[in-house]
Amino acid sequence: MEIIPRLHRISGMRGANAYLLLGSSLTLVDTGMPDSYETILAYIDSLGLDARSLDRIVITHHHLDHVGSAAALKRRTSARVLAHPDDAVFISGEQAPLPPQSPVMRFLFWLMAPLMPSAEPVSIDLAVRDNEHLDLLGGARVVHVPGHSPGAIALHFPSEGLLICGDAIDHRRGRLGPPPKGFTMDMGQAIASIRRMAELEFDILCPGHGAPLVGGADERVRAMVRGLG
Ligand SMILES: [Zn+2]
Ligand SMILES: [Zn+2]
């Protein structure tokens, strides 16, 4: 589905959103679950584009529902994988993902671990850090938004008035809020990151889950932040 010219939300994804950015080359932001790569490749084909020419995959953070198809896509395309160094160690499999902070979730994770699918490790080709400029759409700036995970990033596009935020801001069931507590490493840090994003200007918010918020999105995020006290 086209959100604005040159920005698509891949249709038919299971779990998390993936966004396709068109330009002189193709860029994907997040990759869904391990079985999502076929949906992504078919979507690119449906636009009449050559999926093999996918040039970059930006990972907002290391969680399975965002990084799941990165390795499969990297094999099938010419894409380089970009992520923040603080999450790169988990994405490349150098370090096991950290268990969640909440003791209850920690126990559940331990219980569920043998049943959970794991993401195939993928090496990071390019580390991206806070404030870095990326040549995407009219120009993007990387915003490091730690909390949900140590190396979570958002992408801010000032000329499009757009923020792609991964799971740093939650927009499920039509409500804006902080990321889910049970899956968030450091809630205090996550809220500080939301406050930082609330200072940016963006009309459109593209979250990791739920529908994009189109029109006055920054005002809605500021209202949510005021509600946090
Ligand atoms: Zn997610
Ligand atoms: Zn997440």
pLDDT digits (tens, 9 = 90+) for 136-177: 999 999 999 999 999 999 999 999 999 999 999 999 888 999
pLDDT of residue 111: 76
Least confident of 17-26, 39-48, 83-92, 107-116: 107-116
Q: Which helix (H) or strand (E) holds 177?
A: strand 175-177
| Contact between residue 163 and residue 204 where contact means Cβ atoms under 8 Å apart | yes
CA distance 62 to 44: 23
For the CA of 209, the nearest ligand: 1
Q: Rounded to an integer, what distance in angstroms lies between the CA atom of residue 229 and that of residue 226? A: 6
**Close Cβ partners of 203 (under 8 Å, ≥ 6 residues apart):** 161, 162, 214, 215, 216, 217, 218
For 184, the token pair is 């968030």
Helix (H) or strand (E) holding 157: strand 153-157
Q: Minimum mean pLDDT among 91-105, 126-140, 154-168: which range?
A: 91-105
Percent of the chain with pLDDT over 90: 83
Rounded to an integer, the average pLDDT of 74-89 is 96
pLDDT at 57 over 90: yes
Q: What is the mean pLDDT of residues 56-69?
A: 96
Distance 17 CA to ligand 2 centre (A): 11
Q: DSSP class of residue 138? A: T
pLDDT band at 120 (very low <50, low <70, confident <90, very high): very high
pLDDT grade for 104, boundaries at 50, 70 and 90: confident
| pLDDT tier, 35 (very low <50, low <70, confident <90, very high otherwise) | very high
Average pLDDT over residues 64-73: 96
**Residues flanking ion ligand 1, Cβ below 5 Å:** 16, 65, 167, 208
Residue 115 has pLDDT above 80, yes or no: no
Smallest CA-to-CA distance from 90 within 120, 56, 116 is with 120
Enumerate the H helices of 120-172 as residue ranges: none
Q: What is the pLDDT of residues 192-225, one digit of tens each?
A: 999 999 999 999 999 999 999 999 999 999 999 9
How many angstroms separate the alpha carbon of residue 207 from the centre of ligand 1? 9
Distance 110 CA to ligand 1 centre (A): 19
Residue 110 has pLDDT above 80, yes or no: no
The CA 66 to ligand 1 mean position distance, Å, reads 6
Q: Cα of 165 to ligand 2 centre, how many Å?
A: 11
pLDDT surpassing 90 at residue 99: no
- Residue 149: both structure tokens together: 């995970």
Confidence of residue 3 (pLDDT cuts 50, 70, 90): very high
